[in-house]
């Protein structure tokens, strides 16, 4: 039984140092934990960075300056080997909220001087006792909505501060049965094979029922929102999304890992598609756009029960000629 103890401990120590260090010491924390070949990927407007000091000074210091008295509220924490490289690399995954007092502007978003919660999910590739690669995805539009600056004109599903797993079993600090992780991996792979290219030929709800429980929970990003049950997910997101896009590329992930009943994947981008129909209140542009996505899943039995999704919608819309973040800053 692989417990991934050293990798999990490293990330827990990194989080503690990162969240408690004085602002002028955050760069030192990043440099201490980062490998020489460090790559950090973050949602718009950050992109890909390779210098740990830049990650600290461009992302963490401004965020910690704005969101004071920060707390990391974990809902999911697990580790696993990456099946996409033949299980050669080990990744630690966490998801939850960074909560604090929104006391100073951040990226043009106006402070509220009230509690605010930044949804995030991070994938960390651990190698030789260091973090070699990190994907830090966060729902900036969700924070904007909490500040009364929701950037998007319409949303088909529900906005809310999203909870963790219904079972409250998402923090896998201890070793898990490898058979459970394999079952989760199998369920995710079946779903990707069935749904990933939109070409199975079944009615949408029947197609979804192959991989999902009928009372599925889909915790989508701000701008789309959360849906409950297959029927409502089909109506509130999957159906409208498929109707809006064409020429979808093949799915492309950097990492796909699972442990226990939890698993997920991340890409940069996961896929591209052409906006050929109406989406999120916009008319079709005919342009291809990138979808940078993290998906996390909870499996129950042989099907998926919950899904937490992080999509860089600010980046996508910028590829379509709309800069929502710049508009919010004016």
pLDDT by residue for the chain (330 residues), tens digit each? Answer: 578 999 999 999 999 999 999 999 999 999 999 999 999 999 999 999 999 999 999 999 999 999 999 999 999 999 999 999 999 999 999 999 999 999 999 999 999 999 999 999 999 999 999 999 999 999 999 999 999 998 888 788 888 889 999 999 999 999 999 999 999 999 999 998 876 555 666 789 999 999 999 999 999 999 999 999 999 999 999 999 999 999 999 888 999 999 999 999 999 999 999 999 999 999 999 999 999 999 999 999 999 999 999 999 999 999 999 999 998 877
Task: Round to whole Å and give the CA distance between 119 and 133.
Answer: 20
Give the residue among 307, 280, 301, 276 at the shortest CA–CA distance from 289.
276
Task: Round to whole Å and give the CA distance between 48 and 27.
Answer: 17
Give the residue among 172, 12, 18, 170 at the shortest CA–CA distance from 96.
170
For residue 252, what are the CA distances in angstroms to 124, 185, 192, 193, 294?
Answer: 18, 16, 11, 12, 12
Amino acid 197: pLDDT:
56
> In terms of pTM, does the model score above 0.75?
yes
Task: Round to whole Å and give the CA distance between 115 and 146.
Answer: 9
Task: Round to whole Å and give the CA distance between 196 and 189.
Answer: 10
Task: Tell the CATH topology of 5-146.
Answer: Nuclear Transport Factor 2; Chain: A, (3.10.450)
Task: Round to whole Å and give the CA distance between 62 and 27.
Answer: 12
Residues of the chain within CATH 3.10.450.50 domain(s) are: 5-146, 178-329
Coil vs helix vs strand at 123: strand
CATH number assigned to the domain covering 178-329: 3.10.450.50
Task: Round to whole Å and give the CA distance between 50 and 186.
Answer: 33
Task: Round to whole Å and give the CA distance between 153 and 108.
Answer: 19
């Amino acid at each position: 039984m692989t417990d991934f103890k050293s990798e999990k401990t490293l990330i827990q120590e990194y989080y503690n140092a990162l969240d408690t260090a004085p602002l002028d010491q955050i760069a030192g924390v990043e440099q201490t934990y980062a490998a020489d070949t460090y790559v950090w990927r973050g949602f718009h407007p950050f992109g890909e960075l390779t210098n740990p000091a830049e990650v600290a000074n461009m992302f963490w210091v401004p965020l910690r300056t704005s969101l004071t008295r920060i707390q990391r509220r974990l809902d999911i924490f697990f580790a696993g080997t990456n099946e996409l490289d033949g299980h050669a690399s080990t990744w630690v995954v966490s998801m939850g909220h960074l909560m604090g007092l929104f006391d100073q502007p951040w990226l043009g978003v106006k402070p509220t001087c009230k509690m605010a919660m930044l949804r995030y999910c991070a994938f960390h590739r651990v190698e030789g006792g260091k973090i070699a690669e990190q994907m830090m995805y966060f729902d900036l539009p969700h924070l904007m909505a909490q500040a009364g600056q929701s950037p998007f004109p319409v949303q088909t599903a529900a906005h809310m501060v999203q909870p963790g797993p219904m079972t409250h079993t998402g923090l896998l600090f201890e070793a898990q049965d490898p058979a459970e992780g394999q079952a989760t991996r199998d369920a995710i792979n079946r779903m990707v094979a069935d749904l990933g290219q939109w070409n199975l030929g079944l009615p949408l709800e029947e197609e979804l029922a192959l991989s999902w429980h009928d009372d599925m929970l889909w915790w989508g990003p701000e701008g789309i929102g959360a849906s409950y049950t297959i029927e409502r997910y089909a109506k509130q997101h999957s159906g409208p999304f498929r109707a809006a896009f064409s020429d979808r590329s093949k799915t492309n992930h950097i990492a796909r890992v699972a442990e226990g009943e939890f698993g997920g994947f991340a890409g940069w981008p996961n896929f591209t598609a052409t906006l050929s129909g109406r989406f999120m209140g916009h008319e079709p542009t005919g342009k291809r756009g990138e979808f940078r996505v993290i998906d996390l899943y909870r499996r129950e039995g042989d099907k998926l029960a919950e899904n937490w999704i992080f999509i860089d919608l600010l980046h996508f819309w910028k590829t379509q000629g709309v800069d929502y973040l710049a508009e919010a800053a004016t």
